[in-house]
Structures are given as structure tokens and as C-alpha cells.
């Protein structure tokens, strides 16, 4: 939540069906002072994007039956003209999935298990730190 004139926090949305994955990432990203929100489904994430316009969306490479590329495309449409930074993470490097998500606007890919230093580097690269 942004409180104009008082605090300007980076709004971050985590999207993953797995509660444990969301917990791990929430703890990692929370260390940077981000205003964290979480959803377990693509539909809930898209609704959140329409209402809250996050600055960054961090998502698994597949949410239900939706691929990362399709999800990124829909996030772009749901964000009401804003362009949130989208980071996609995966367990294995699938070049087709990675390519599709990047073509649709994903800024970066991360491989699991998460490396704190690499995550921080990627956040700096996209201008969020």
C-alpha cells in the first residue's frame, strides 16, 4: 500500500500455488522493505493487479494450467497501463518457456533454489533496489 507523502514502498505480488515457496520468497523479498502481497492462483493475481497495481510481480513459471508467457501477457493487460517488473522463477531452465515469458515482457528469470545474492543483483538490475 502506498501512503503518498509519508511512505513510498515498493509493492510486490508473489504468485505461486505452493504456500512454502511463497513463504520463502516473502521472507527474502520482505528484507528489502517491500509491501508484500501473495496469491495462489493466476486469477487472483490478475484481479490484484487490476486493483492494486504492484510495482513488481514475482511468479512461478506455471500457475495452474497457465504458462509464464500467458500470465505475463495478462498481467500487462490487467495493470491498467502500468508496467510492473515481472520476475519468473523455475526449477529447470526451459528455453521455450523462458523465451515466451521474455517476449511477453518478463524482465528476468530466476532458478530455484533461490540465491539471495543473485536475487538482490536482479532487483538492482531492474531498478528496484
Q: Is residue 128 part of a domain?
A: no
Q: 68-78 vs 42-52: helix axis angle to the nearest 10? A: 30
Q: pLDDT, tens digit, for every residue of 83-122?
A: 899 999 988 878 888 889 999 999 999 988 888 999 999 9
Q: Is residue 106 part of a domain?
A: yes
Q: Among residues 115, 118, 57, 46, which one has the least CA distance to residue 84?
A: 57
Please tell me the pTM assigned to this model. 0.89
Average pLDDT, the chain: 88
Q: Is residue 69 part of a domain?
A: yes
Q: pLDDT, tens digit, for every residue of 36-80?
A: 999 999 999 999 999 988 999 999 998 889 999 999 999 988 877
Residue 30 to residue 12: CA distance in whole angstroms = 9
Which domain CATH number covers 52? Answer: 3.40.50.2300
Q: Is residue 124 part of a domain?
A: no
Judge whether residue 124 has pLDDT over 80. Answer: yes
Residue ranges of E strands in the chain: 11-15, 35-39, 56-60, 62-63, 66-67, 85-90, 108-111
User: What is the predicted pLDDT for the residue at 7?
Assistant: 54
Amino acid at each position: 500500500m502506498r501512503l503518498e507523502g509519508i511512505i513510498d514502498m515498493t509493492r510486490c505480488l508473489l504468485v505461486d500455488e505452493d504456500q512454502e515457496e511463497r513463504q520463502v520468497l516473502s521472507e527474502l523479498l520482505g528484507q528489502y522493505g517491500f509491501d508484500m502481497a501473495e496469491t495462489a492462483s493466476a486469477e487472483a493475481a490478475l484481479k490484484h493487479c487490476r486493483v492494486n497495481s504492484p510495482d513488481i510481480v514475482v511468479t512461478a513459471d506455471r500457475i495452474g494450467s497457465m504458462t509464464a508467457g500467458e500470465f505475463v501477457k495478462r498481467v500487462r493487460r490487467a495493470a491498467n497501463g502500468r508496467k510492473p517488473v515481472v520476475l519468473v522463477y523455475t526449477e529447470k531452465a526451459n528455453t521455450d518457456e523462458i523465451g515466451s515469458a521474455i517476449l511477453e515482457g518478463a524482465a528476468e528469470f530466476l532458478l530455484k533454489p533461490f540465491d539471495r545474492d543473485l536475487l538482490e543483483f536482479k532487483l538492482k538490475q531492474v531498478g528496484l533496489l
